[in-house]
Structure 1
């Protein structure tokens, strides 16, 4: 029987999706690519393949999971299988530099960014040359749970950090990014969720206690990066809140056009507004997770308007389309 195949390397992220799939009777199976063996001379199984490979896979001991996934996706495409978040999406997932190029090509603004090969002397020289007048953010090109993403007030502060930086914070692809610190009028960022290339809802995230990229509860990693400013006292209100009015139609249309042009079906796009009201996009997460507490508070949990519910409905439609075409 044809089914949905969920490509992943972290089973802890599957339960909310499994519940939504089972609720509508969607046949599915997981395809764990933390490791694997594939006979490329044989055709893959029938069905729709949903790629959830994460840029942070190396932080869970799966250093080459993304590379294995790239090969598997090429095999699937070669045999005409429908892949949700296919090779183009994976390519942007594992490289913020390529994300930023695609965003700017689509007419979206990003924070000023300088790319540096993993070399301390080159990093410090780049900060002196491009960010001497203010704070700078250091982040790895291939992200992962906020690991290695830090805000520095000066080049001297960065130099002191680099002297004793943990080895596991080094970028897995050898590329660091230096980025402008964005001053926001309020300590929040916005994450807009899209399924099937269409807007589902937007979450406002309070960053006063630091910002963790992944909204799922299983993503807690302790020390986190706050793009809107340094950490302060923890907020009394929930950190994740779904905006009842969503985002403005013009921005929604531009983000949807970016996804369509980039071959991305499912994503969470994160942006911040500066003091002038300008929207700056700083992350595209094609392995999106959803905050259960925010969905519950907004009355979306367990419905087709939730993130997992919208995803289940979309994948069911894709599976049905494939079955009709094969008939």
Structure 2
């Protein structure tokens, strides 16, 4: 049995991780999600430690995504004794924005005012309880997918009547007040082992896709990233969110509401494929810290 298995979907996002593992001589195997299958009555785990690199945006790249498949797979491997990093419990939070917001508010932290519906016909009634402009977003999203903005009740009414709305692969939608982010930036706070790793201010010129990773930046999207040292209260909040979500590695996103100065947390992302050109942006490579963590998890399991 291998020490480590990387269960991944995107063909380009993890070259830096693989290179860091190779450089350290870690015994690992790469397992692509496409075409994967398992026997629930057998199929032992491929390694002592399994690291999930499953992106919620995978449904954009293939209708045969593994988001729900992985719930059963990770639980099966864990039941057979494997240490699954960002396993089934974390995936259940990562793949459910409504659950993320409920978790965040349970910690006494602010989120954008939101109503959750499971039928599009209920969107108008939900929106009547909120301030415009607002957005309707998919409960399962990624890379800004499934978000549409509506500035007036009339505009939303036309969209509902014409069914010009986002869709979510689980049928659940969020109706949410559009938060004007101070200075047009959101802050993404990355955590490792539930502790602060680094943070970025990300600006996208009003776009909803603010993915900072290599493959996203390579797509030519107008994203600017700046290393920041957030206020200690924001770091503490992100660490509490990570702990409550059981997040082994992941990002927490927050924006300062320009209307009243309130920090509003709105997304928990378990992928954390790290910033593009980390030496230029951060001055150090977070993959080294990640490999330290993976090696420690391997040793702990021996």
TM-score (norm 1): 0.84
Q: Say which SS state the counterpart of residue 110 (structure 1) adopts.
A: coil
Contact 2:186 2:254 in 1 (8 A): yes
Alignment partner, residue 279 of structure 1 = 263
**What is the RMSD of the two structures over their aligned residues, measured on CA atoms?**
2.4
Q: Say which SS state the counterpart of residue 21 (structure 1) adopts.
A: helix
Contact 1:13 1:289 in 2 (8 A): yes
Alignment partner, residue 126 of structure 2 = 126
Q: Matches of 2:145 and 2:52 in 1, distance apart?
A: 23
Deviation at 1:114, TM superposition (A): 0.5
Alignment partner, residue 44 of structure 1 = 45
Deviation at 1:202, TM superposition (A): 0.3
Alignment partner, residue 296 of structure 2 = 317
Alignment partner, residue 171 of structure 1 = 168
Q: How many residues end up aligned between the 2 structures?
A: 300
Contact 1:272 1:279 in 2 (8 A): yes
1:138 aligned residue (123, 136, 139):
136
**1:62-81 Cα shifts (integer Å, max 9, x gaps):** 44511211111111111121
* Structure 1 stretches lacking a partner, 5+ long: 225-233, 301-305
Q: 2:247 matched to 1:247?
A: no
Q: Say which SS state the counterpart of residue 186 (structure 1) adopts.
A: helix
Contact 1:242 1:295 in 2 (8 A): no
Taking a change above 3 Å as real, the CA distance of residues 264 and 83 of structure 1, as seen in their structure-2 partners, is same
30-39 or 87-96, which moves further after superposition?
30-39
Taking a change above 3 Å as real, the CA distance of residues 295 and 193 of structure 1, as seen in their structure-2 partners, is farther
TM-score (norm 2): 0.90
Q: Matches of 2:115 and 2:264 in 1, distance apart?
A: 16
Q: Say which SS state the counterpart of residue 140 (structure 2) adopts.
A: coil
2:191 aligned residue (191, 194, 203):
194
Deviation at 1:253, TM superposition (A): 2.2
175-184 or 29-38, which moves further after superposition?
29-38
Deviation at 1:166, TM superposition (A): 6.5
Contact 1:86 1:264 in 2 (8 A): no
Q: Matches of 1:313 and 1:250 in 2, distance apart?
A: 27
